[in-house]
Structure 1
Amino acid sequence: MTEGAGSTATEACAEHVPNRKECQILSAARTQFLEQGFADTSMDAIARAAGVSKATLYAYFPSKEALFRNLIEIECSQKCTDVPEPDFGAGVEQALRELCGHFVARFLTKEWAAFFQAVSSERWRYPELCHLYFNSGKQNVLDLVSNYLEEAKARGLLAIDDAQMAAEHLLHLTVSDLPMRVALGLDLRSEAEYQRVMESGLAVFLKAYKA
C-alpha cells in the first residue's frame, strides 16, 4: 500500500514553489525541522543548510514561524495532488478503495508521518500552527473526497444528502486510529491490518450510503 505513496519533499516543493531559491530554502528547512524539531532549529542553521545568506533567507521568510507555516501549507496541498482520479467504471467500491488507500498510505509513509509529528509536537508552544495544519489539511481532504462522492451520487451509485459529512464518515471508518497513533508516536499496526480495517470501514460506509 505504501508503494508510490507520494513524491519526495523536494519534488513536492518544486511542484508548489516555482522559485528555485525559495524551494531550496524550504527543502533545507523541512529537513532541519524533522531532524532537530521546530523549537531547536535556528534560522542560522537553515541558512547554512540551504547554502544561502541570512539576508537572503529573511528576504523570503521574515521569521521561522512564517517558514514553517509555508511548509505546512505545502504539505496540506501536496496531500491531495497525487490522488488517483476517480474511475467508477469498475464500480463505486473499487473507486473508493483506491481513494482511501491513498490516504492510509500517506500515514504509513515515514517522511509524511515525521512531518505530522513535528507539527503535533509544537501544539503547546505554537498552537496556531497546529490549527493551520488541522484546518487546511482537513478541509483540503474533505473537499477532494466530497467531490468524489458527489460524482458517485450524480452517477446514481451513492445516496447522500451531505457530501462533506459523508466524506468525514468515510475517512473515519477507513483511516481509523492511524492519524492518532502517528501523532502520538505509538507503534502502528501492520500494513495488512490497516488494509483489513480499511476494507471493513468501506463495507460499513457502502452499507449506509450505496444507492
Structure 2
Amino acid sequence: MPKKSTAKAFVPKRGRPTADQLAAIEQTILTTARDMFLGGSYDAVAMENIAAVAGVSKGTLYARYPSKEALFTAIVENRVNQWSAEAAQQDHLLSKDIGERLRHHGHTIAHSVTQPEVLAFQRLLFATRERFPQLSKAMYEAGYLYIVRLIARDIAEAAERDGIPARQPETIARMFVSAITGWHLQESGEHPITLEEIIGAADGTTDLFMAARALW
C-alpha cells in the first residue's frame, strides 16, 4: 500500500502568488512526489495523482515539470543536495586534527548508509537505473564525490600544516569511504547492521588509516 504523503496539500489564495507561496508550492510538489515514489514505485505513480494529493492543478505541476522524468530528477537532486548540506553542518566545529576529522567523516558515512530515506532512494534508483542513468550519476557526484573531495581536502591541508607529504589525497579519500561502505555492504548481506556496529567499523577504519599515515 502506498505510503501516505507527509506533505500538506497546498491551499491556493486569491491573487498573484508571492515568492513565499511559489516556494511553498514547489516544496509541496517535491515532498508529495517523493513520498509517493518511495511509498510505491516509479511506474505506479501518475502525474495526475501527484497533482491531486499535492492540491495543485495539473497545469501548475506540468508548468514546473513537463514530465514525470523531470520531476523524478528534481526530487533526487534536491534530496542529495539536502543530505550533503546536513552532513556539513558540524564541520566548522571540528579542530584541524586530521584524526578527529577523519573520525567525524566516518561517522557521517555511517549515519548516511543506515538512513532509511537514503536506502529507499538507492533501491528506487537501482530499479530505474537503466532508464535514468543520469540520476545515479547525480547521486554519485553529489553524494559519494562530495564526501571524497571533502576528505581529500582535509588530508591535503593537514599534510601542508603538519609537514607530512600527502602523495595522493583523493585516492586515500576514496579508499577510506569505500572501506566503510564496502564493509557495510558485505556485512548487511548476512544480517542487519546497527548504527553502533557501523560506527565501530568506521572508528576502526580511521585508526587503521591514521596508523598508516606515513604511506599516504
Distance 2:164 2:54 in 1: 49
The Cα of 1:155 is off from its aligned counterpart by: 2.1
Q: Decide whether the 8 Å contact of 2:102 with 2:151 is kept in 1.
A: no
Instruction: Give the letter aligned to residue 88 of structure 1.
Output: S
- The one-character-per-residue Cα deviations of 1:96-154 (angstroms, maximum 9, x if unpaired) are 11121012101112122212222122123433332332234322222222222223223
The Cα of 1:199 is off from its aligned counterpart by: 1.7
Partner of 2:197: 193
Q: Decide whether the 8 Å contact of 2:34 with 2:75 is kept in 1.
A: yes
The 5-angstrom pairing of residues 23-102 of structure 1 reads 23-82=27-86, 83=88, 84-85=90-91, 87-88=94-95, 91-102=97-108
1:146–1:97 CA distance, 2 compared to 1 (3 A): same
Q: Decide whether the 8 Å contact of 2:84 with 2:142 is kept in 1.
A: no
Larger Rg: 2
1:32–1:157 CA distance, 2 compared to 1 (3 A): farther
Partner of 2:124: 118
Distance 2:103 2:28 in 1: 36
Q: Tell me, what secondary structure is at the counterpart of 2:85?
A: coil
* Residue 170 (str. 1) matches residue 176 (str. 2): yes
Partner of 2:3: none
1:147–1:49 CA distance, 2 compared to 1 (3 A): farther
1:157–1:65 CA distance, 2 compared to 1 (3 A): farther
The Cα of 1:29 is off from its aligned counterpart by: 0.7
The Cα of 1:20 is off from its aligned counterpart by: 2.1
* Residue 138 (str. 1) matches residue 144 (str. 2): yes
Instruction: Give the letter aligned to residue 202 of structure 2.
Output: M
Give the superposed CA RMSD.
2.7
Distance 1:62 1:181 in 2: 42
Distance 1:157 1:171 in 2: 24
Instruction: Give the letter aligned to residue 204 of structure 2.
Output: S
- Gaps spanning 5+ residues in structure 1: where? 1-8, 11-17
Distance 2:132 2:186 in 1: 19
1:74–1:144 CA distance, 2 compared to 1 (3 A): farther
Partner of 2:161: 155
How many residue pairs get aligned? The number is 193
- Gaps spanning 5+ residues in structure 2: where? 1-5, 8-21
TM-score (norm 1): 0.78
The Cα of 1:32 is off from its aligned counterpart by: 0.6
TM-score (norm 2): 0.77
Q: Tell me, what secondary structure is at the counterpart of 2:43?
A: coil
Instruction: Give the letter aligned to residue 176 of structure 1.
Output: G
Q: Tell me, what secondary structure is at the counterpart of 1:155?
A: helix
